A and B are shown apart, each in its own frame.
Chain A
Amino acid sequence: MSKSLKDVIPVGHIYIKDNILEKDSLAGVSESKALWAKDLNLPKKAEYTFFAACGYQHMKYVEGMMGALKSASKMGMGMGKVVGISKAFGKVGVDLTGITAKITASKDDPYTPVLISAISVLRKLGLDVGYLHEEEPCCGSPMYYAGFEDDYAEHSRKNYEIFESFGVKKLIGLVPACTASLRDYYPKYIEGYDLEVQHVLEVVVQKLKKTGVKPKVKENVKVTYHDPCQLSRYLELTDEPREILKSIEGIELADLDPEQCGKWSTCCGGGGLEATHPELAERVGVRRVEELLETGASVIVSNCPACEMQLTKVTKKLNANVKVIDLVRLLDESLE
């Protein structure tokens, strides 16, 4: 790696890129990404292949990583002045491998169950999907957003070969950013790219209509919906989540001002910004949560690991009396 790169590109992004290139994981953990699925009997081959992505499974690690990056940035080492990320962490007394090693996919981790819910929802709606388990690659999208286009392009071509070798034809994505990456950016870099990519919410809406299933929550609740940017303005899915919420009996959807939701939804500041400008990210998050709280809802529903991590953190900080829950989890609980 050239020294000049570190002088101008935020270390957080370089670190994440190196994680992906070296360990094929956003958080740089070598531990299997497929632990969540070990009891689910998902075949590797099926008509539809579920793409779990790094997000939900490794969110706990990412939380630790973001914390470490935040300390580094607080010490003025976010950019430019650092020689190496590990040295930066060393200086602030953070042992990254230490943090990550301590965390395992535990029951109180709110993220991993989302993956299990996704499979469960699809099954309840009559769709059995496959999953590549350990073979599922990291899609590489953080590199794309950080400006490492060449690395991303090369990574995408490698991944495509993996998909091909398993005969994957149709992908169902869950993490919005990764789904957008697979659907919209891979074709730019891979000649003859022929994978059909859908987001799980699209599939769910179709299936709900077809099966006529009527989801129902145990207790009536007023919720509001936070559109993840990647879902609303990249994948352009703004009706689907609302249709799903409205289909659940007992849910009252208190949507925001039209200028703050749907395709105009305000960003919550989660994701990459936390790695480079943590304090700004927090302020952005506070502004968004304040908008969401104005609806008077007691639950904020979303469906993106980065958003959920950010919203959870900020609502806690604000001592707000709301819960943040993933749409897929909510739906799973509402289906027989």
Chain B
Amino acid sequence: MSNSELAELAKEITDNVQRCWKCRMCVEMCPTYEGWFTQSTAGRLMAINLYIKHGLGSEEDLSNMLYSCTTCRRCQERCRILSTDCSPADTILKARQYLVRKAELKGERNHEQIP
């Protein structure tokens, strides 16, 4: 995993989010939604997007949001039928891959520094 591969993955994610209209039709579909957008699909997507683009928020909070998704795809079906079909659930999965890879990359670097 290199920096450029990580950047590619990041672009794939932000491109998908770019296609999301923030119409929020997925929100009520999400089994983890309990009244706050961060507990829902659309909130997760907006968080990833601004984290990647501007480094907003902490990785821990982001991780907590991403891993509280059950990957049930109910949002994705909603988005496909009623909206843009921007693959929200798959994008959340990609964002998890992004976190893992970023962490692994950091780990490799640390390793290099300590002979």
Contacts and interface: CB of A to CB of B under 8 A. Distances in A.
A5 B1 CA distance: 14
A336 to B, nearest CB: 37
B100 interface: yes
Contact of A5 (B93, B96, B98, B107): B107
Nearest to B60: A80
A224 interface: no
A149 B68 CA distance: 18
B97 interface: yes
Interface string B30-42: 0110100000000
Interface string B83-108: 00000000001011111111110111
Interface residues of B, number: 33
Given A147-B100, A287-B31, A79 B60 contact: yes
B40 to A, nearest CB: 13
B60 A8 contact: yes
Interface in A104-151: 144-150
Contact of A233 (B72, B96, B99): B72
Nearest to A151: B100
A2 B110 contact: yes
A47 interface: no
Contacts of A271: 70
Contact of B99 (A147, A267, A273): A147
B14 interface: no
A229 B96 CA distance: 19
Secondary structure dominating the interface of A: helix
Contacts of B16: none
Contacts of B64: 79
B22 interface: no
Interface stretch (A155-163, A276-284, A321-329): A276-284
Contacts of B104: 2, 4-5
Interface string B70-84: 111110110000000
The CB with the most chain A CB atoms within 10 A, among B1, B34, B64, B111, is that of: B64
B103 A2 contact: yes
Interface string B19-31: 0000000000001
A7 B101 CA distance: 13
A5 B100 contact: yes
Nearest to B34: A283
Contacts of B77: 233, 263-264
Given A2-B107, A145-B93, A276-B68, A8 B59 contact: yes
Interface string A263-274: 111110101110
Interface of A: 1-5, 7-10, 13, 79-80, 144-150, 229, 233-234, 263-267, 269, 271-273, 276-277, 280-281, 283-284, 287-288
14 contacts: A2-B108, A5-B107, A7-B59, A7-B60, A8-B60, A9-B99, A147-B100, A149-B101, A233-B74, A264-B77, A269-B32, A276-B67, A277-B68, A280-B68
